[in-house]
Amino acid sequence: MIRIQTEPLSPGEWLETFSRDRETTGAVASFTGLTRGGAGIERLVLDAYPGFTETVMEGIEAEARDRFEVQDVLAVHRWGPIGVGEPIIFVAVAAAHRRAAFEACDFLMDQFKVRAPFWKKEEGPDGVRWVEPRLQDHDDLARWAPGTL
């Protein structure tokens, strides 16, 4: 399931709900991304196009399901103004075995970081700065290309 929302995230509640009643699941791997501060950053503002953004993220989820033996996926991404230290994304993957859960979670985060259509800007006392994926983000994405790993 893919969801984008403007409301604050509660990763603990999402994880508890996602993990409940999984009799054939051997592993749930999760990731929570936080809004990083420092360098004069007071908040992050993300723009998204509801409908389109979820559709792209659902395509990435389908790729993870095809590539790894996962039972279920949950990704909740926040958009709008987000304060420093607040959760921005929560991803959970259920699988029969831990390796598939870990790898699928890692894959999803690398893909979402570069490919999910969010437009990010950092705001602080010195003004606004648009944020693009870094070279490292593209390198992380490239390691999932066919013939790697």
Which pLDDT does position 1 carry in this prediction?
A: 96
Q: Please, which pLDDT band fits residue 15 given cuts at 50, 70 and 90? A: very high
State the average pLDDT over residues 136-142. 92
pLDDT tens per residue, range 102-132: 999 999 999 999 999 999 999 999 899 999 9
Scored b (16 or more CB within 10 A) or e, 93-129 reads bbbeeeebbbbbbbbbebbbbeebebebebeeeeeee
Please tell me what DSSP assigns to residue 20: T
C-alpha 44/C-alpha 38 separation (Å) is 12
Cα→Cα distances 145→63, 73, 75, 109, Å: 12, 21, 22, 15
pLDDT tens per residue, range 25-80: 999 999 999 998 888 899 999 999 999 999 999 999 999 999 999 999 999 999 99
Strands (E) in 99-139, as ranges, are 118-124, 127-131
Q: Which domains does the chain have, with CATH numbers?
A: 2-142 (3.90.1170.40)
C-alpha 53/C-alpha 49 separation (Å) is 6
What does pTM read for this prediction? Answer: 0.93
DSSP bridge partners of 33: 89
CB of 66 closer than 8 Å to CB of 105: no
Pairing between β-strand 127-131 and β-strand 118-124 as defined by DSSP bridges: antiparallel
